[in-house]
Amino acid sequence: MKNSVGCYADKTLKTTRSPVKMLMGYIYKDFNMSSKPLSFPIPFEVQAPTCPVITDKSVLDAIGNTPLIRIHNIGKEYKNVDIYAKAEWKNSGGSVKSRPALKMIEDGEKSGKLTKDKIILDSTSGNTGISYALIGKVKGYKVKLVMPANVCKERKGLMADFYGAEIVTSSPFEGSDGAIIMAREIYEKDPDKYFMPDQYNNDSNWKAHYETTAKEIWKQTSSRVTHFLAGIGTGGTIMGTSRGLRSFNPDIKCYAVEPAESLHGLEGLKHMETSIIPGIYKENELDGKISVPTEESYDMVETLEKQEGILVGHSSAAAMLGALKLAAKIESGVIVTVFPDSCERCYVNFGHFNKYYQNDTSHKIPQAD
């Protein structure tokens, strides 16, 4: 019997000892089943679909093909400019870094450099480490990650407690550069023990975006994209996506977004003049850089939430701020940027989020009687 959602009733369904649990026309069955079968035909509200709810696909198959979001309200004053953002938190692993992390690991497997007896080792400011840890868990590799000690507890918790990675902390005052140096020192002491993707110098990083992100943007904008910009961390997103988009249209303008200050609070982004330059970052290929202040980026987190209903992290807000600065300089065009992650991993403890939950008593969780 076919129901209104186009699925057929499963005649092997048995009743549960507790009442049938309903949600949007689907049945959720307890593991504790009785032996009494349902009689047929049965009304729709207790029919179970035979549409597959369990597949043999890996969680890694959900990396890529993220939505492209139209920014409707912010920047309305730029009448002839459309702004879009890739919602990269929709990747498995929760960020844009899942794309290069997967490609670097799989390319390591193909080359024979990564084998089951080796530990995946790299430096990270958080997102790449979470992706490494997730992929390592799925594929059966041990993972060791070096990060600044001030990386937030939520990210550390995901990497270590949830995905089982080993964490080594470097000086918080040296930022991502300190983590890079420490990871190299660990590797050099015992190179046979580790596979080090070295995300800052690995061509597989930018190629992940060349092969996926750029193609998705080109298709999702129906070939209309005229400008692209992304924050600089490793340089993989901006370099790979720019090269990929220009393979479709060489006239597309591409810009990197960086913190305006050498000492900044935009986790994951690099101020290039005062940082170790990633080997994969080639600034001469770009049309320019856009500098964004930390405080303005923090304010943009709140603006995106209030005006667009989008909850993102600081680096995403920095990209949005960069897009607005670019929109102010052009007469018309279609600007696409990348929102690397959402606000769910540690950003809720910072700035406006933290102040909101400390001071706004109307949003406290009610206590049970």
Mind telling me the catalytic residues? Answer: 97, 315
CA distance 217 to 203: 21
Residues 6+ apart with CB under 8 A from 216: 64, 65, 66, 68, 86
CA distance 206 to 212: 10
CA distance 69 to 66: 9
Residue with tokens 């918080």: 172
What are the tokens at 368? 């049970």
Answer yes or no: are the C-beta atoms of 149 and 209 closer than 8 Å. Answer: no
Residues 6+ apart with CB under 8 A from 284: none
Cα torsion for 308, 309, 311, 314, to the nearest 10°? 20
Answer yes or no: are the C-beta atoms of 130 and 163 closer than 8 Å. Answer: yes
CA distance 312 to 292: 16
CA distance 322 to 316: 10
**CB atoms < 10 A from the CB of 334, how many?**
18
Cis geometry, peptide bond prior to residue 250 (ω within 30 degrees of 0): no
Residue with tokens 């996926």: 212
Cα angle, residue 336 at apex, residues 334 and 341 outer, rounded to 5°:
155
CA distance 69 to 335: 12
Amino acid at 327: A
